[in-house]
Amino acid sequence: MNQKPPPVDRVAASRAAVAARRARAAVKARIASGAARPLDVLAASEDRDSAASSLRVTQFLRSIPHIGVTKTDRILNDLGIAPVKRLGGLGRNQRTKLAEFLDQWEKSSPDSPRVVVLAGPTAVGKGTVSQYIRDNYPQVHISVSATTRKPRPGEVEGKDYYFVDDSEFDRLIAEDELLEHATVHNSYRYGTPRGPILERLSEQQPVLLEIDLQGARQVKEQMPEARMVFLLPPSWEELVNRLVGRGTESPEEQERRLQTAKVELAAQDEFDARVVNDSVPQAAQQIVRLMGFREDLR
Ligand SMILES: Nc1ncnc2c1ncn2[C@@H]1O[C@H](COP(=O)(O)OP(=O)(O)OP(=O)(O)O)[C@@H](O)[C@H]1O
Ligand SMILES: Nc1nc2c(ncn2[C@@H]2O[C@H](COP(=O)(O)O)[C@@H](O)[C@H]2O)c(=O)[nH]1
């Protein structure tokens, strides 16, 4: 005997559809306004009854600030996710890939801190990586420090450092012209001129400071929004090789620098991010991404 299906309550169904649409719109609005983190919304979508679960991945991505139609298409293509998929219907692999993408996006979003402090032990390659960034990412301003040490062969006044004597360095401190300053390796004084940094920041240009641990701590105190990056060598042996191979310090100075290096390496957990300088271009790219640039997606 054929049983009749129960009558559809059209009014109730349409009310439920309206409520679901409103709930999805509310989720999108919270993402767009920054009130909800996209990663948290993705996590919430694992609950099949949640509004997040019924959100299409396309709508979800589009509600994230700075992700438009073209970027959404590119991201979905890169992640191998069909535009019609709903968050709740993502497979485990797709969910993981999307979460990884969001994590990266969050770290490098345009709202990321515009001041990045690059520190790390002597001879790890801070100067080399900074030079690579200067040459290849002209949008980044690299701060030029003042120092009381003498120029090395090839170093240029105003490009590598402002080479000053002790009385000029005292004046810079007295007139509050330095954002931070420190005596490094128990020998010479180094400091970051404040004026150029503030000027660049007011023009929305990101700024990279390549300074020692003491200076990094001072900047963090004054600019808590600064992103702190620690550059690591592939190994201690490689660090020693780089220092000795550079050949710019006497054996006594090398020994002093290696002592400081041990103290600096022990402080690496104070930093927001760690980058291993195995390859200069790759280390530079990671640092630039931490400054908010995503050349691949913008
Ligand atoms: N990824 C790398 N692979 C191999 N050698 C490197 C790499 N990066 C830098 N070097 C070399 O290591 C040496 C030290 O680099 P650099 O002078 O940039 O270090 P630094 O961290 O600025 O040092 P310091 O703090 O003492 O000024 C240089 O001879 C440089 O050419
Ligand atoms: N606190 C600061 N440290 C600085 C600054 N500029 C450079 N440095 C650090 O000094 C050492 C030695 O540099 P070197 O050129 O003599 O080898 C290195 O660790 C730099 O990072 C600064 O303005 N403030």
Total structural domains within the chain: 2
Per the annotation, does 127 bind a ligand?
yes
Per the annotation, does 150 bind a ligand?
no
Task: Give the number of the atom of ligand 2 that is nearest the alpha carbon of residue 210.
Answer: 21
In a domain, 47, yes or no: yes
Higher pLDDT, 193 or 30: 193
Pocket, ligand 1, Cβ cutoff 6 A: 122-128, 242, 245-246, 277-280
Per the annotation, does 193 bind a ligand?
no
Of 161, 140, 269, 152, nearest to 208 (Cα)?
Answer: 140
Q: Give me the residue label for tokens 């485990």.
A: 92
Cα 128 to ligand 1 centre (Å) = 6
In a domain, 10, yes or no: no
In a domain, 94, yes or no: yes
Tens digits of residue pLDDT in 217-255: 999 988 887 899 999 999 999 999 999 999 999 999 999
User: Among 69, 89, 108, where does a domain finish?
Assistant: 108
Percent of the chain with pLDDT over 90: 67
Higher pLDDT, 147 or 227: 147
Ligand that lies nearest to the alpha carbon of residue 160, given by its number in the listed order: 2
Residues 6+ apart with CB under 8 A from 19: none
Same domain for 190 and 135: yes
In a domain, 5, yes or no: no
Describe the chain by its helix, strand, coil percentages, rounded to 5. Answer: 50, 15, 35
Mean pLDDT of the chain: 89
In a domain, 280, yes or no: yes
Q: Give me the residue label for tokens 């009854």.
A: 49
User: Among 82, 108, 134, where does a domain finish?
Assistant: 108
Region 78-85: mean pLDDT is: 95
The residue type of 267 is A
Cα 139 to ligand 2 centre (Å) = 22
Helices and strands (DSSP H and E) totals, the chain: 12, 9
CATH number of the structural domain spanning residue 48:
1.10.8.50
Tens digits of residue pLDDT in 148-160: 999 999 999 999 9
Domain housing 58: 15-108
Q: Which pLDDT score is estimated for 290? A: 86
Beta strand 145-147 with 188-193 is antiparallel
For residue 113, pLDDT beyond 80: no
In a domain, 231, yes or no: yes
Cα 164 to ligand 2 centre (Å) = 14
Ligand that lies nearest to the alpha carbon of residue 235, given by its number in the listed order: 1
Same domain for 127 and 259: yes
Q: Which two tokens stand for residue 41?
A: 């919304």
CATH number of the structural domain spanning residue 120:
3.40.50.300
For residue 56, pLDDT beyond 60: yes
pTM of the model: 0.69
The residue type of 42 is L
Same domain for 223 and 88: no
Q: Which pLDDT score is estimated for 55? A: 95
Of 177, 171, 214, nearest to 194 (Cα)?
Answer: 177
